[in-house]
Structure 1
């Protein structure tokens, strides 16, 4: 039997850059670069968008009215051997007037150019989703799926 963990991750875009979080001290992943997000609460299991918006407001103070084009872009399922992790990856534009701190309670925040290939240390499904989104996914509105088995075998984005 496996435990289940449901997570969100949101890549915020503004002026040709994407905001990432260097998350420190997580119980689920090693210190690494991720989108803004976190764990779904029990009442959010049928609404990952609500969870992503809640996490965004908790971590950055950014509200839904400061976003444009919020979209679910990738759904990743990973078998870690101990649990099944489902991560919902979103993207959204961030209003030019929205203030973003340099750090939050979860770690440090940094903007990266969309034309860069930053090759950052990321959890496996985050790396797959982010790399694909930079090169292909940000040019369309397709929802894609990623799976990573307990043996580390990856499939997707499909």
Structure 2
């Protein structure tokens, strides 16, 4: 039976640094790896992943909405993980401050942008970061679907999400 999981994530920047979490080795998803701040969308938040993202930011960092500048939906990732379809809404933003809380989820660090991809990062998040660093912020939303290339290597296929009715 296929299940579904909806998540909201934030790539938070302060100047040229990205806030990353070194996940606790006891976590179910990506234990011990580097990740962004975020988590599951609660049932009451299904129609507003932005609210879920703000809640997760606060729970995992202590940053309030007023500490965040230009929170923008930039990516939607879809992937199949065993018998679970995962849909992840990824937002980008700048923060006005760097002091953050530490929680049981993992340890938070501000990583210089040129060192981010050197971390032990899950494949799908690594692909997203590579794409973002190459293309930067866009006026549209990118949709990424995980799959394989012709050499049977995992990759993410990126498509701009557009409304075909708008010209």
TM-score of the pair, normalised by structure 2: 0.83
The reply to whether residue 50 of structure 1 matches residue 48 of structure 2 is: no
How big is the alpha-carbon RMSD for the aligned residues of Structure 1 and Structure 2? 2.0
Moved beyond 6 Å, runs of 4+: none
- 2: CA distance between counterparts of 1:59 and 1:155? 27
| Cross-structure match for 1:3 | 3
Aligned residues, how many?
155
Task: Give the secondary structure class of the aligned counterpart of 2:139.
Answer: coil
Structure number, greater radius of gyration: 2
Task: Give the secondary structure class of the aligned counterpart of 1:62.
Answer: coil
1:22 to partner: Cα distance: 1.1
| Cross-structure match for 1:90 | 91
Task: Give the secondary structure class of the aligned counterpart of 2:51.
Answer: helix
Instruction: Give CA-to-partner distance per residue, 1:47-72, whole Å, 9 cap, x none.
Output: 11000000111111111111111011
Structure 1 residues 1-158: aligned runs within 5 Å? 1-24=1-24, 25-96=26-97, 99-101=99-101, 103-138=102-137, 140-149=138-147, 153-158=154-159
Gaps of 5+ in 1: none
1:146 to partner: Cα distance: 0.8
